[in-house]
A and B are shown apart, each in its own frame.
Chain A
Amino acid sequence: MSQYILRRLMIAIPSLLGISLVLFVVLALAPGDPFSELATNPNVPPEVQAALRAKFGLDDPIYLRYLHWLAAMAQGDWGFSFVSRVDVDTLILQRLPTTLYVVGSSQLLALLIAIPVGVYAATRPYSIFDQLANTFAFIGFSLPTFFTGILFILVFSVKLDWLPFVYTEVPGSGIKWAIEMIRQAIMPVMVLGLFQAASMTRFVRSAMLDVIRLDYVTTARAKGLGQAKVIVKHVMRNAMIPVVTLIALQMPAVFGGAIVTEQIFRIPGIGSLLISSILANDTPVVMAVTFVFACLVVLFNLIADVLYGWLDPRISFR
């Protein structure tokens, strides 16, 4: 097993280099200018904007900029944001905890909903509960998060005035501070969690239905283990293999943050940083975020494969 992991990691390095090259070319080719806001400001003569572009080497040929980036990256310098004029790694590390906290807990909420609902719906196919679960799943992933986000704000903040909808992270401690932190995270986590739970429920239900019909389930029931034990120990144990792999594949999305939700609730996460940098074509930041994202994708693909092998004894590691 460890030999297999080592081999996969060795392959990951050139693969990441290739990915970083393609990413850089895509970003360099994409039009846009971090100093665009200066254009219509009469106080700032155009030469200033051009001088800034030259100073940050925006007009150099692409391969040169990539080599600079790679050399800097090798020495651990993740680059310098044009828009905030601050080192990129401080920018990302500042926002990472928020993303992990909000998006992470929404993924958790999604799982806590999807697995029980999916399993229960699969044990009673076409029952009332199953139909309801299906319908809510469809509602879940057919409404975009920007729509449900605003709906939640209108209902819970404006009409009922239960929850604040502007997310501000103020350092502090104590119960009151903790409660406040939770109160303001409820809506974004709900919006994001329900959206992710929707498609996850359908996968869990489908995986369960595939397994529940198999012979060894009848064998298990013939042992008088009782419905609950049969479902948990025998059916779920098998049905969860593809589901666990799917969850592992979605983990990078946790880092990528939820662009739309972070925009609506003003959550200072990686998602909103990514969007503002992309729209302002702040290449170093976008490059850093997407490169970390690529590393996570490769890492979690490996984790998914290892998980698959560990969970399913039939898969041997060649």
Chain B
Amino acid sequence: MALLDIKGLKTHFTTDAGVLQAVDGVDISINRGETLCVVGESGCGKTVTAMSILKLIAMPPGKIVEGEIIFEGRDLVPLSSHQLDDIRAKEIGFIFQEPMTSLNPVLTIGEQIAESLRRHEAVTKKQALERTIDMLKLVQIPNAAGRVHHYPHQFSGGMRQRVMIAMALACRPKLVIADEPTTALDVTIQAQILDLLQDMKERFGMAVMLITHAMGVVAETAQRVVVMYAGKVVEEAPVDELFGNPGHPYTKGLIRSIPRIDLDAEHKTRLEAIGGSVPILINPPPGCRFAPRCKYAMSICTEKEPRLREIAPGHRMACHLGDAS
């Protein structure tokens, strides 16, 4: 039984211009200890999906209109924010994208980590401090004991992201959702953070849902991949299957847009970009939302919405292309 199973999740936002269907029927599931990558262009609803799990989106204007989020057999959607508090950080940890603004500027990093421990585990102040220092060492922050009382503005971007990771993992959650943890960092730090996440995963055996728009990061870390476009899941497969045998035209487009440094000069081809831009998710047209940008678009694509169906063991795709055969 999957650790987390999201079924038909719909999260809409009421705005002036109408109801924005940011997430429109998403099915994602994660097993224990698995690293799942959710990939897609920005604005495809991947962050809203993640935030909906722990109801971190502001309601109003946001609202979960439909669907279930089953975590260890328990549906989180009907729970109140107060009931969710026992799960937040204890069962499901969150790592945010923007380290510069995600830490409280007027509290020491030690305090911000210790408070999560004190909230969820019966620990004294002293024990909380010791475990905080251990966590900081774990995430390779130099002179952890000394710097535990420093303030966020005294740390670099990379260091702050390590603090965020320490904070998210402090209570040994079963699942960690990392919302583009490396986007704001430069490449060298990016690799260190991803390695760190990998070490943590092996050490604590937790599941990781990594949200990113960089196919390179997916290739390197994911065991299974979910591709989202315009509020829906368009393809889901194990990482090798996805890169080896991509089904959905959008996934193919994404893979072709990765710059290849492993090919030598002659085999390099011009990078292919997917034309057009992400559609407006306010009363979107019927049929497949990728149709306007899809090279293989057929008339059916603009009438009927394709359903997810299995095209290989563990490999599902929502596209009419396979219908004919």
A–B touching in complex (CB under 8 Å) = yes
Which residues of A are in contact with B by a Cβ distance under 8 Å? Answer: 214-216, 218-227, 229, 233-234, 237-238, 241, 311-314
Q: Which of A216, A219, A227, A229 has the most CB of B within 10 A?
A: A219
A313 adjacent to B151 (CB under 8 Å): yes
Q: Does B223 contact A (CB under 8 A)?
A: no
| A223 and B112 alpha carbons, distance in the complex (Å) | 10
The answer, among A218, A225, A229, A314, for a CB contact under 8 Å with B105, is A314
Sample of 8 further A-B pairs with CB below 8 A, known A216-B103, A224-B120, A241-B106: A216-B101, A216-B104, A222-B88, A223-B115, A223-B167, A224-B119, A312-B105, A313-B151
Residue numbers in A under 8 Å from B85 (CB-CB) = 224-226
B102 adjacent to A221 (CB under 8 Å): no
Chain B min CB distance to A127 (Å): 11
A234 adjacent to B104 (CB under 8 Å): yes
Answer whether A214 and B86 are a contact pair too, CB < 8 Å, given A224-B119, A312-B106, A314-B153: no
Query: 1/0 per position for B84-107, CB-CB distance to A under 8 A?
Result: 111111100010101001111111
B94 adjacent to A222 (CB under 8 Å): yes
Which single residue of chain A is at the shortest CB-CB distance from B81? A227
A218 adjacent to B84 (CB under 8 Å): no
Chain A min CB distance to B218 (Å): 24
| A22 and B180 alpha carbons, distance in the complex (Å) | 61
A219 adjacent to B120 (CB under 8 Å): no
| A233 and B167 alpha carbons, distance in the complex (Å) | 17
Q: Which of B87, B90, B106 has the most CB of A within 10 A?
A: B106
A313 adjacent to B120 (CB under 8 Å): no
Answer whether A237 and B106 are a contact pair too, CB < 8 Å, given A223-B116, A223-B167, A313-B153: yes
| A234 and B107 alpha carbons, distance in the complex (Å) | 8
Which single residue of chain B is at the shortest CB-CB distance from A235? B104
Residue numbers in A under 8 Å from B82 (CB-CB) = 226-227
A237 adjacent to B153 (CB under 8 Å): no
| A226 and B89 alpha carbons, distance in the complex (Å) | 12
The answer, among B98, B102, B106, B164, for a CB contact under 8 Å with A313, is B106
Answer whether A216 and B102 are a contact pair too, CB < 8 Å, given A225-B85, A237-B107: yes
| A224 and B104 alpha carbons, distance in the complex (Å) | 15
A223 adjacent to B88 (CB under 8 Å): yes
| A215 and B51 alpha carbons, distance in the complex (Å) | 13
A219 adjacent to B105 (CB under 8 Å): no
Answer whether A225 and B119 are a contact pair too, CB < 8 Å, given A238-B106, A312-B106: yes
Q: Does B281 contact A (CB under 8 A)?
A: no
Residue numbers in B under 8 Å from A313 (CB-CB) = 105-106, 151, 153
Q: Does B56 contact A (CB under 8 A)?
A: yes
Residue numbers in B under 8 Å from A226 (CB-CB) = 82, 85
A224 adjacent to B98 (CB under 8 Å): no
Residue numbers in B under 8 Å from A229 (CB-CB) = 119
A223 adjacent to B89 (CB under 8 Å): yes
24 inter-chain pairs at a CB distance below 8 angstroms, sorted by A residue, are A216-B101, A216-B102, A216-B104, A218-B56, A218-B102, A219-B96, A219-B103, A219-B167, A221-B81, A221-B88, A222-B54, A222-B56, A223-B89, A223-B115, A223-B116, A223-B167, A224-B86, A224-B87, A225-B115, A227-B81, A229-B119, A237-B106, A313-B105, A314-B151
Closest 10 CB pairs of A and B: A224-B88, A224-B85, A215-B101, A222-B94, A313-B151, A216-B104, A223-B116, A223-B89, A215-B102, A219-B102
Which single residue of chain A is at the shortest CB-CB distance from B57? A218
Which single residue of chain B is at the shortest CB-CB distance from A313? B151
A311 adjacent to B98 (CB under 8 Å): no
Chain A min CB distance to B109 (Å): 12
Which single residue of chain B is at the shortest CB-CB distance from A214? B101
Residue numbers in B under 8 Å from A222 (CB-CB) = 54, 56, 88-89, 94, 96
| A311 and B86 alpha carbons, distance in the complex (Å) | 31
Residue numbers in B under 8 Å from A225 (CB-CB) = 85, 115-116, 119
Residue numbers in A under 8 Å from B115 (CB-CB) = 223, 225, 233
Query: 1/0 per position for B160-175, CB-CB distance to A under 8 A?
Result: 0000100100000000
| A99 and B146 alpha carbons, distance in the complex (Å) | 49
A215 adjacent to B98 (CB under 8 Å): yes
| A241 and B54 alpha carbons, distance in the complex (Å) | 30
| A312 and B119 alpha carbons, distance in the complex (Å) | 25
B96 adjacent to A215 (CB under 8 Å): yes
Chain A min CB distance to B101 (Å): 4
A218 adjacent to B96 (CB under 8 Å): yes
Which single residue of chain B is at the shortest CB-CB distance from A240? B106
Residue numbers in A under 8 Å from B105 (CB-CB) = 216, 238, 312-314
Q: Which of B82, B103, B107 has the most CB of A within 10 A?
A: B107
Q: Which of A220, A224, A311 has the most CB of B within 10 A?
A: A224
Which single residue of chain B is at the shortest CB-CB distance from A228? B82
Residue numbers in B under 8 Å from A241 (CB-CB) = 106
| A150 and B94 alpha carbons, distance in the complex (Å) | 58
| A313 and B150 alpha carbons, distance in the complex (Å) | 10
Which single residue of chain B is at the shortest CB-CB distance from A316? B153
Residue numbers in B under 8 Å from A238 (CB-CB) = 104-106
Residue numbers in A under 8 Å from B116 (CB-CB) = 223-225
Residue numbers in A under 8 Å from B54 (CB-CB) = 222
